[in-house]
Chains A and B, each alone.
Chain A
């Protein structure tokens, strides 16, 4: 691809490549964020309820276990429905231990351990996953799937569990193997230690849970001597016939620890990627805005500077084509202007001849023709001015705009025109004196020609020097405001009049103003009885900084 664009080494890679690179970068950042969240943060722990804590709560004692949030206690007519049966094997020994602790027979005690994570949003309240019921039949959880461990083949051997999670399942108080969910936080009731002295393997929990995905047992928890339940549970105790005291773990609301973790990961990715995305978008769209600006510039002045050939390859190619088009356009305009100028120039010698020949003509005829010649001459000057001002500005330098306006006003007054320059502050602008003088001469001439008089003010607004030339004439309909700046355009009334001119004055004025970084605009004067309507021509020229 590089070879294909050998002629334009400044171009960046194509947009497609850039976007693919961005996607890959996003992927990598996202994965890194997960890695950081998983490795740096301690994993959330499931609640742990000791059998003696459950028993105390069922008896009406404390509801706050040491390693779990507070439990809820209710009194009901019946034990929690059906659950006990489901978990019969799994919790049998724990239930027996609970009954023993409470000092009653197992008939009066129910214990259910929820093997599921409790995500209300996913499962709908404290609902159960459809696969849950398989647990008792020994469905093994597929590794790496924290929320769904029920899909595995039933009766999978315990070795399929993650390392160090269940281990020698079934020891001690454990129900048949393969019931627990290794990864999700609150799932699984697996790590129930055997009742004290059951078969001497009471220490399995420590061995296998210390480094489990939940981060092992909390500090200070000794699973050796006590039965305990990990994860959400409910326990019921029939203290009197038909009166069941039920104690359940409180569900961890939204967001629970894992949800918080996912949100954190999402936020981290967002924070990391938003600036990158912004920069990327900027990088991609900057050439497009540059394009828009260049097109706008081209509309005003085909001889403007060419666009910079930077940016993605596609845009670079388009920019090169655009610049070529602009160059052709500039050449075309230049040729045409030069031709107009040449014609105008060559007309001057014959006119000069006629002027000398007129000396021999009868005086009344000569005066008549001289008038016509004067008009032709004025047109030629206008065309030549136009051609000249279409060329780049020549010598630029700081210039006292007020003094220039004084000269313009003075010269106009000397020819008998009613021109007044209002006193104003000195404004220094950067420019070419002769073109600027021509600009204001044109505007003052127009004002005098169509409006009978010209009133010039000089102020400064927003860092610009602003000159307003107003007259007391009939003004212009606002739909003509832009058209009158077109070369050779004249408003209808001006053609029929003996005002001469060929419709270049305003066009020249605007060309000059824009070449100086300013502009010429038209506005209508507020109509009032005293002064009549009139046109205000506003010229803005930027003042040099500092």
Chain B
């Protein structure tokens, strides 16, 4: 309804905030407007549809628990229609809700209450991903399959061929993702660090070798040594066919 235009010349993007709490809506809008976003707000799905019909947005920040049509349903609708990027901001905060939101087409998920700066950082990251041509939703290609293993990036879980669930630290997850995205190629340590940093989790200060050996142990239902081969002086190679879904 009320449009807040950034004072700065350059506008980072246009954001629609959908939340039934008027006070919070106003606060978020004020904060984002102060950070060079053009912001509009809607109290429910109906208002949101009206505003979306008027103009296009780069991003929708969506509450989950709202009277009328809920956030998850809106999320699926917008996502199916190929609409703007979506960040879910919800008080539910449970992991299941996070995964459900992401599977229904959200680009990211922020628990409520959240640090305003975190919201800002995630918004920027999502918009960057979209602009960079990786218009990929978080749920797309979030699963890898190799040698009977299944890696779910959303749930951060690896399921072994025997059905045993193996949990990965964020470092191991980044490393494994880097390998899975470049199977059959020898990757130097620097490349690995690079690829791993590029992903969401950038905690990667442990020594690569330690991470690799733990990964090998966790992949030991197949021959972990053979799966991640060491090329002395060159780096490591992931030696399996990888299917991405």
By a beta-carbon cutoff of 8 Å, the part of chain A in contact with chain B is 345-346, 348-349, 351-360, 373, 377, 381, 384, 388, 394, 397-400, 403-404, 406-407, 410-411, 414, 426, 428, 433-434, 437
Q: Which residue of B lies closest to A436 (CB)?
A: B167
Q: Which residue of A lies closest to B160 (CB)?
A: A400
Is B167 within 8 A of A406, CB to CB?
yes
Q: Across the interface, which residues of A come within 8 angstroms of B203, CB to CB?
A: 414
Is B165 within 8 A of A388, CB to CB?
no
Is B169 within 8 A of A406, CB to CB?
yes
B218 within 8 A of A: yes
Give the residues from 119 to 163 in chain B that come closer than 8 angstroms, CB to CB, to chain A: 157, 160, 162-163
B50 within 8 A of A: no
Contact stretch, chosen from B6-14, B71-79, B89-97, B185-193 = B89-97
Is A403 within 8 A of B21, CB to CB?
no
A397 to B28, CA, bound (A): 40
Q: Which residue of A lies closest to B94 (CB)?
A: A388
Is B116 within 8 A of A398, CB to CB?
no
Is A348 within 8 A of B93, CB to CB?
yes
Q: Is the interface of A mostly helix, strand, loop or mixed?
A: helix
Is B218 within 8 A of A403, CB to CB?
yes
Q: Across the interface, which residues of B come within 8 angstroms of A394, CB to CB?
A: 96
Smallest CB-CB A-B distances: 8 pairs: A356-B27, A352-B113, A410-B169, A348-B91, A351-B113, A398-B164, A403-B167, A399-B165
Is A356 within 8 A of B31, CB to CB?
yes
Is B112 within 8 A of A352, CB to CB?
yes
**From B113, B160, B166, residue with most partner A Cβ within 10 Å:** B113
Q: Which of B114, B165, B206, B218 contacts A352 (CB 8 A)?
A: B114
Is A353 within 8 A of B23, CB to CB?
yes
Q: Which residue of A lies closest to B90 (CB)?
A: A348
Cβ contacts A to B, 22 pairs, < 8 Å: A345-B92, A348-B113, A349-B113, A352-B24, A353-B21, A353-B27, A355-B114, A355-B116, A356-B28, A358-B116, A384-B93, A394-B96, A397-B163, A399-B167, A400-B218, A404-B167, A407-B167, A407-B168, A407-B169, A410-B170, A410-B171, A434-B95
Give the residues from 28 to 56 in chain B that come closer than 8 angstroms, CB to CB, to chain A: 28, 30-31, 34
Give the residues from 79 to 95 in chain B that come closer than 8 angstroms, CB to CB, to chain A: 91-95
Q: Across the interface, which residues of B come within 8 angstroms of A407, CB to CB?
A: 167-169
B115 within 8 A of A: yes
Interface residues on B, range: 35 or more
Is A355 within 8 A of B115, CB to CB?
yes
Task: Tally inter-chain residue pairs, CB-CB below 8 A.
Answer: 89
**Cβ of A46 to closest chain B Cβ, rounded Å:** 82
A352 to B165, CA, bound (A): 35
Q: Which residue of A lies closest to B159 (CB)?
A: A397
Q: Across the interface, which residues of A come within 8 angstroms of B214, CB to CB?
A: 406
**Cβ of A408 to closest chain B Cβ, rounded Å:** 9
Known A346-B91, A359-B34, A373-B113; further 16 A-B contacts with Cβ < 8 A: A345-B92, A348-B93, A348-B112, A349-B91, A349-B112, A351-B113, A352-B24, A352-B112, A352-B113, A356-B30, A358-B116, A398-B163, A399-B165, A403-B168, A406-B167, A437-B167
A394 to B164, CA, bound (A): 16
A384 to B214, CA, bound (A): 33
Q: Which of A356, A357, A358, A400 contacts B165 (CB 8 A)?
A: A400
A408 to B44, CA, bound (A): 39
A353 to B112, CA, bound (A): 10
Q: Across the interface, which residues of A come within 8 angstroms of B23, CB to CB?
A: 353
Q: Across the interface, which residues of A come within 8 angstroms of B27, CB to CB?
A: 353, 356-357
Q: Across the interface, which residues of A come within 8 angstroms of B162, CB to CB?
A: 398
Is B113 within 8 A of A398, CB to CB?
no
Given the known A-B contacts A352-B113, A353-B24, A357-B27, are A399 and B164 also in contact in the complex, defined by CB atoms under 8 Å?
Answer: yes
Q: Across the interface, which residues of B come within 8 angstroms of A346, CB to CB?
A: 91
Q: Across the interface, which residues of A come within 8 angstroms of B165, CB to CB?
A: 397-400, 433
**From A348, A351, A388, residue with most partner B Cβ within 10 Å:** A348
Q: Which residue of A lies closest to B118 (CB)?
A: A355
**Cβ of A252 to closest chain B Cβ, rounded Å:** 78
